[in-house]
Amino acid sequence: MLDRLENEATKVGLKININESKEIHIAMNNNETLCIYSETIERVSQFAYLGSIISNIDGREADIMARI
């Protein structure tokens, strides 16, 4: 799947920034490693996106507690 993303991005002159890309698994048992440009994407357990905290451990609880 990421090979296709990489190919389509290249067609329009884009390059995916590996250092800015992260992966998170939520409710998945798949432990397959994701790679782009033959480099492994860092796996994280939580990250912030548009001011909200997204977590694979406690879901929305981390975001709610951060806002309180």
Indicate the pLDDT class of residue 51, thresholds 50, 70 and 90. confident
More confident residue, 41 or 56: 41
pLDDT digits over 6-39, tens only? 889 889 999 888 888 888 877 777 778 888 888 8
Q: How many Cα atoms within 13 Å fall on the side-chain side of residue 45?
A: 3
Closest residue by Cα to residue 22 from 62, 59, 49, 57: 49
Query: Whole domain around residue 12: which residue ranges?
Result: 2-67
Say how many domains are in the chain: 1
pLDDT at 11: 94
